[in-house]
Structure 1
Amino acid sequence: MTTSKRFNEYKGRSVLITGGLGFIGSNLAHRLIELGDVEVSIIDALLPEQGGNAFNIESIANRVAVHIADINDDYVINHLVGGVDFIFNLVGSVSHLESMLQPQRDLELNCAAQLRLLEACRNFNPHVKIVFSSTRQVYGKPVYLPVDENHRVSPLDINGIHKLAAEHYHLLYHKIYGTRTVCLRLTNTYGPRQLLHHNRQGFIAWFIRKAMDGDVIELFGEGKQRRDLNYVDDVVEAMLLAGASEAAEGEIFNLGGGEPISLSALADKLIEITGRGSVLSVPFPTERQLIDIGNFYANANKIKSILGWRPTTPLHTGLKRTIDFYARHRAHYWKPDANTVS
């Protein structure tokens, strides 16, 4: 079955995106609207510093239903899950460092919220399809490369532990209750609409900001760590394929699979594209070194084999698109809380 035909599964159907005003969720909303004849709803609490931004959906705001609410509110989530065909479950915190500083808060965002959603679905919409976004952080430091889904899991921080627990919740509900769940382990995702006014949600967006500002890009440990990167449009395609496929249900899939690049080479490429910025090697802060996973790149053969997905956006193309987006919309992303209310 071709990709276009598989995406016909969404025609005339309804979709709920949790965390839908954030980076990946808003890009997914744009793609669903582009497909046409899809009823799209979003729930997002617009918590400070988490990446939710009303501007992310400005151009499609009149074509999606937006609910500014907390997924931990039973009344709200019980109501919203009823009757929808697909849920893309992207809600939660992604900051590894903040999870170590505020572990209880991370527990609420990444575990308690997931259980509330799953319970709501079990009780009020048992046939809904749920695609859950997890993280490669569940693996911890790789024992071998590239990392496949059979690699042992040994997360190095609270966020990774909670994300792993959330994966198990989704898989348990599939096994015990027949809930139609699938888990995707995302690697380093980048692209338009990502939070970049602080550096606690990943290095790529922060590097992009520093280069665009003509500032110094600081590299911990000389930037020798090698990582694989996925452009957000490719990640969205993987999510749509997972949602449309019965074969994906009850499975875990790695994303990634692109050619790994060192952080220093990435910084150099950003400086080349922007024509600005510089690089400085600095000592690794202790609090970051303790939870750093070193080299990491994933084996994505499983999702390629079962769902036919592979990343298609060249790194230079993706970075250029991202930089061009922020150059046009800088005012909505450079300052904290620039667009956190609708």
Structure 2
Amino acid sequence: MRIFFTGGSGKAGHHVAPYLASQGHQVTNADLTPLRHPGVADLRVDLTDAGQVYSAMAGTPTGADLDAPEPAATSGSAYDAVVHFAAIPSMLIAPDATTFATNILSHYNVLEAATRLGVRKVVFASSETTYGVCFAQGERKPLYVPVDEEHPVVPEDSYAISKVAGEVVARSFHARTGADVYGLRINNVIEPHEYAEKFPAFLADASLRRRNIFAYIDTRDLGQMTLRALQTDGLGFQVFNVANADTSVAASTQELIDTFYDGVEVRREMGPHETFYSIDKARELLGYEPQHSWRDVLDDPRAEG
């Protein structure tokens, strides 16, 4: 595919965009900051400017072979799919109003340009924060565990509100055009080097992971999830939780329930270290199956022997 990838220079994007390129796809990184990866073309685009977004998506893909025998497309999009990861990635980075305005305007511009230009597949980054636990002021517990995509979304902060609004926008563009638009409710993104740097503290004190529902997503598995979403057609508008299969702490599932989720409904039997951030839907509809774990890198301090 020819993929228009926004935010390829961010924490998640700078792993996922090269991964898609490594799978044989032609990837253009639309970002204010270049990625400078040999397999990914860079294109400087201000996504809050609708004209720039439309022009970038309609134009000749950066890195295209201008000597190819077939001429460049003169109508419609030059791309087969859009992956939209660009955003102010958290609260407390910019003023609240700026975070919301930047994220939702960029999101709208990307969806409008893509669908008007005839792109039939858009995969966008939503967030774990939509459930209202991560950035809540004070402690918030989920209504039930494991948390699936049917759990209510009641965010309090500007970042999470922008992500919930973005899902509404995405559903509307699907309704208008019939394009497949899939939102990835991405959990806390972890790069492989961060296991050794951050996880010893998490293993010693599980409370450090309460706001992330004790879950995480390895960037390599996020790449797999994104690719599977691109390869799966015909699902219309969907949102998917994205996490690894296990929790990010040493405590068992039952210990976490007893300590942190007293009184919270447990809707089904769970494995001894199963993620509370349900990935059943992604497994069923996309064939997603995480391949990585902190346990591949660090010794589990609770393991016998």
TM-score by length of 2: 0.72
- CA distance in structure 2 between the aligned counterparts of 1:244 and 1:80, rounded to whole angstroms: 23
- CA distance in structure 1 between the aligned counterparts of 2:209 and 2:23, rounded to whole angstroms: 40
The SS at the match of 2:105 is helix
Q: 2:115 aligns with which of 122, 126, 133?
A: 122
- 2:266 equivalent in structure 1: none
Q: CA deviation at 1:310?
A: 2.0
Pairwise CA RMSD:
2.9
- 1:306 equivalent in structure 2: 285
- 1:18 equivalent in structure 2: 6
Measured against aligned partners, the alpha-carbon deviations of 1:170-199 in whole angstroms (never above 9, x if no partner) come to 111001222321111111121159xxxxxx
Structure 1 residues 264 and 300: CA distance shift in structure 2, 3 A: closer
Q: CA deviation at 1:44?
A: 0.7
The SS at the match of 1:313 is coil
Structure 1 residues 224 and 122: CA distance shift in structure 2, 3 A: closer
Q: CA deviation at 1:220?
A: 9.3
- 1:68 equivalent in structure 2: 44
- CA distance in structure 2 between the aligned counterparts of 1:88 and 1:115, rounded to whole angstroms: 13
Matched to 2:54, the amino acid is: N
Matched to 1:31, the amino acid is: Y
Q: CA deviation at 1:209?
A: 6.8
Are the aligned partners of 1:191 and 1:232 in contact in 2 as well (CA < 8 Å)? Answer: yes
- 1:200 equivalent in structure 2: none
- CA distance in structure 1 between the aligned counterparts of 2:40 and 2:89, rounded to whole angstroms: 25
Question: What are the residue-to-residue correspondences of 1:224-239 with 2, within 5 Å?
Answer: 225=210, 227-239=214-226
Q: Which moved more, 1:162-171 or 1:306-315?
A: 306-315
Matched to 2:248, the amino acid is: I
Q: Does 1:78 align with 2:54?
A: yes
Q: 1:316 aligns with which of 282, 295, 298?
A: 295
- 2:93 equivalent in structure 1: 98
| Higher relative contact order, chain-length normalized (CA < 8 Å, sep 6+) | 1
Matched to 1:24, the amino acid is: A
The SS at the match of 2:189 is strand
Q: CA deviation at 1:305?
A: 0.7
Q: CA deviation at 1:45?
A: 1.3
Q: Does 1:165 align with 2:160?
A: no
- CA distance in structure 1 between the aligned counterparts of 2:179 and 2:26, rounded to whole angstroms: 22
Matched to 2:90, the amino acid is: S
Matched to 2:103, the amino acid is: N
Q: Which runs of 5+ in 2 are unaligned?
A: 59-77, 134-141, 253-274, 300-305
Q: Which runs of 5+ in 1 are unaligned?
A: 1-12, 47-53, 194-203, 266-295, 321-342
Q: CA deviation at 1:264?
A: 9.5
Are the aligned partners of 1:223 and 1:264 in contact in 2 as well (CA < 8 Å)? Answer: no
TM-score by length of 1: 0.65
- 1:190 equivalent in structure 2: 190
- CA distance in structure 1 between the aligned counterparts of 2:21 and 2:297, rounded to whole angstroms: 21
Matched to 2:49, the amino acid is: D
Deviation >4 Å, runs of 4+: 219-222
- 2:276 equivalent in structure 1: 297
Matched to 1:138, the amino acid is: T
- CA distance in structure 1 between the aligned counterparts of 2:28 and 2:41, rounded to whole angstroms: 5
Q: Does 1:30 align with 2:15?
A: no
Measured against aligned partners, the alpha-carbon deviations of 1:134-172 in whole angstroms (never above 9, x if no partner) come to 101111131111101111111131111111001110111
The SS at the match of 1:227 is coil
Are the aligned partners of 2:209 and 2:215 in contact in 1 as well (CA < 8 Å)? Answer: no
Q: CA deviation at 1:120?
A: 1.4
Are the aligned partners of 2:248 and 2:294 in contact in 1 as well (CA < 8 Å)? Answer: no
Are the aligned partners of 2:209 and 2:248 in contact in 1 as well (CA < 8 Å)? Answer: no
